[in-house]
Structure 1
Amino acid sequence: MIQRTVSYWKLHKIPMLMVLFSILFYMAFGYDLDRADFIKLLSLYSVLFFLCYKLIQFEKWNFKFLAISGTLFRLTLLFAEPNLSQDFYRFIWDGQLINNGINPYLHIPKDMIIGGGQIMNNAGELISGMGGLSASNYSNYPPLNQFIFALSTLLSGKSIVGSVLMMRTIIILSDLGILYFGRKLLQKLNKSTHLIFWYFLNPMVILELTGNLHFEGVMLFFFIWSIYLLFNKKWLLGAIVYALSISIKLVPLLFLPLFLKYFGIKKSILFYGVVGITSVLLVLPFYSPEFADNYIQTVGLWFSNFEFNAGLYNVIKKVAVNFDAKPWELIKDYGKITPIIVIALVALFTFVRDNKKISSLMTSMLWVLTFYYFLSATVHPWYIIFLVVLCLFTEFRFPIIWSFSIILSYWAYSNEGFKENYWLLSIEYIAVYGFMIYEILRLYNKKLLFHKN
Structure 2
Amino acid sequence: MILSQKNKSILVVVISIGLYFLFAYNLDRTNFTQLISLYLGLFIPFLYFIKKEHVNFPFLVGIAILFRLVFLFAVPNLSQDFYRFIWDGRMLLEGFNPYISLPETFINERNFPIPQAIDLYNGMGPLNGSHYTNYPPINQLNFFLAALFSGKSILGAAVVLRLQIILADIGIIYFGKKILEKLQLPIHHIFLYALNPFIIIELTGNLHFEAVMLFFLVWSIYLLLIGRWVWAAIILGLSVSVKLIPLLFLPLFLQWFTSKSYNNHTERPLDSSRGDNMLSGKAESRTLLLQGVFKFVSFAAIVIALNIVLFLPFVSPDLISSYSNSVGLWFRNFEFNASIYFIAREIGYLFRGWNEIAIIGKIMPILTITFLTIITFFRKNKTPQQLITALLFGLSFYYFTTTTMHPWYLATLLLLSVFTKYRFPLVWSVVMILSYQAYANEPWKENLWFVGLEYVIVYGFLIVELLKKRRSMASKV
Instruction: Please report the TM-score for the alignment, with normalisation by the length of structure 2.
Output: 0.91
Match of residue 317, structure 1, among 337, 345, 359: 345
Question: CA separation in 2, counterparts of 1:350 and 1:291?
Answer: 32
Alignment check: 8 A CA contact 2:86 2:143 kept: yes
CA distance in 2, matches of 1:54, 1:114: 52
Equivalent pair of 1:304/1:335 in contact (CA under 8 Å): yes
AA partner of residue 401 (structure 2): L
Q: How far apart are residue 325 of structure 1 and its match?
A: 2.3
**Amino acid of the structure 1 residue aligned with 2:438:** A
Partner letter of residue 52 of structure 1? F
Shift of 1:319: 3.0
**Contact 2:17–2:67 (8 Å) recurs in 1:** yes
Q: Which secondary structure state, in structure 1, belongs to the residue aligned with residue 404 of structure 2?
A: coil
1:376 aligns with 2:370: no
In structure 1, what is the equivalent of residue 251 of structure 2? 257
Paired with 2:319 and 2:377, the residues of 1 have a C-alpha distance of: 34
Are the aligned partners of 2:115 and 2:151 in contact in 1 as well (CA < 8 Å)?
no
Measured after TM superposition, the shift of residue 324 of structure 1 is 4.4
- For the pair 1:184 / 2:178, whether they are aligned, the reply is yes
Asked whether 1:44 is paired with 2:34, we answer: no
Q: Residues 106-132 of structure 1, C-alpha deviation per residue, up to 9 Å, x if partnerless?
A: 011101222361212311111110001
Structure 1 residue corresponding to 2:460, chosen from 434, 438, 445: 434
Q: Distance in 1 between matches of 2:336 and 2:205?
A: 21
- The aligned counterpart of 2:413 is 387
What is the letter of the counterpart of residue 155 of structure 2? V
Alignment correspondent of 1:295:
323
Q: Post-superposition shift, 1:49?
A: 1.2
Say which SS state the counterpart of residue 323 (structure 1) adopts: helix
Partner of residue 284, structure 2: none
| Partner amino acid, structure 2, of 1:349 | I
Of 194, 204, 209 in structure 2, the residue corresponding to residue 210 of structure 1 is 204
The residue that corresponds to 1:278 in the other structure is 306
Deviations 1:130-174 (A, max 9, x none): 001110000010111001101111111332111100000000000
In structure 2, how many angstroms separate the alpha carbons of the residues matched to 1:117 and 1:157? Answer: 18
1:411 aligned to 426, 437, 448, which one?
Answer: 437
- Distance in 1, Cα, partners of 2:212 & 2:98: 20
Give CA deviations for 1:197-238 in whole Å, capped at 9, x if unaligned.
010001110001100000000000000000000101011111
Residue 86 of structure 2 corresponds to 92
Which SS does the other structure have where 2:29 is aligned? coil
Residues 267-298 of structure 1 show CA distances to partners (whole Å, capped at 9, x for unaligned) of: 01111122122111211111112111111100
Please state whether the residue corresponding to 1:84 is helix, strand or coil: coil
Determine the C-alpha separation between the residues in 2 that align with 1:357 and 1:244: 24
Whole-Å Cα distance in 2 between the matches of residues 344 and 363 of structure 1?
A: 17
Q: Which runs of 4+ in 1 moved over 6 A?
A: none
* Structure 2 counterpart of 1:399, one-letter code: P
Could you tell me which runs of 5 or more consecutive residues in structure 1 were left unpaired when the two chains were aligned: 1-8
Is the aligned partner of 1:397 residue 2:423? yes
Q: 1:34-62 CA deviation, whole Å, 9 max, x = no partner?
A: 10000000000001012211210111111
Q: Which entry has the higher C-alpha Rg, 1 or 2? A: 2
Supply the distance in 1 between the matched residues of 2:118 and 2:232 (Cα, whole angstroms).
42
In 2, Cα distance between the equivalents of 1:166 and 1:417?
33
Deviation at 1:370, TM superposition (A): 0.6
1:425 to 451, 460, 475: 451
Aligned equivalents of 1:281, 1:72: Cα separation in 2: 38
Is 1:15 equivalent to 2:12 in the alignment?
A: no
1:33: which partner in 2? 27
Partner of 1:5 in structure 2?
Answer: none
Distance 1:140 1:273 in 2: 22
Matched, 1:353 2:363: no
Task: Find the counterpart in structure 2 of residue 339 from structure 1.
Answer: 365
User: Is the 1:171–1:210 Cα contact (8 Å) retained in structure 2?
Assistant: yes
Distance 1:15 1:447 in 2: 39
Q: Which residue of structure 1 lines up, in the alignment, with residue 294 of structure 2?
A: 266
Shift of 1:69: 1.0
Q: Which of 108-117 and 159-168 deviates more?
A: 108-117
CA distance in 2: counterparts of 1:351 and 1:158, whole angstroms: 52
TM-superposed CA distance for 1:187, in Å, is: 0.5
Q: Which residue in the other structure is 1:447 paired with? A: 473
Matched, 1:304 2:298: no
**CA distance, structure 1, for counterparts of residue 212 and residue 398 of structure 2:** 21
Give, as a single letter, the amino acid of the residue that structure 1 aligns with 2:21: M
User: Does the CA contact (< 8 Å) of 1:30 and 1:77 recur in 2?
Assistant: yes
Preserved CA contact (<8 Å) 2:388 2:420: yes
**Displacement after TM superposition at 1:439 (Å):** 0.4
Per mean C-alpha deviation after superposition, the further-off stretch among 383-392 and 281-290 is: 281-290
Amino acid at match of 1:337: I
- Structure 2: any 5+ residue segments left out of the alignment? 258-291
Counterparts of 2:309 and 2:105 in 1: how far apart (Å)?
29
Structure-2 residue corresponding to 1:153: 147
Work out the CA distance in 2 between the residues paired with 1:28 and 1:160: 21
The 2-side partners of 1:11 and 1:85 are apart by 37
* Percent identity (aligned): 48
Q: Distance in 2 between the 1:82 and 1:311 partners? A: 27
Q: 1:82-106: per-residue Cα shift (whole Å, max 9, x none)?
A: 0000101000000010001100000
2: CA distance, partners of 1:304 / 1:325 = 18
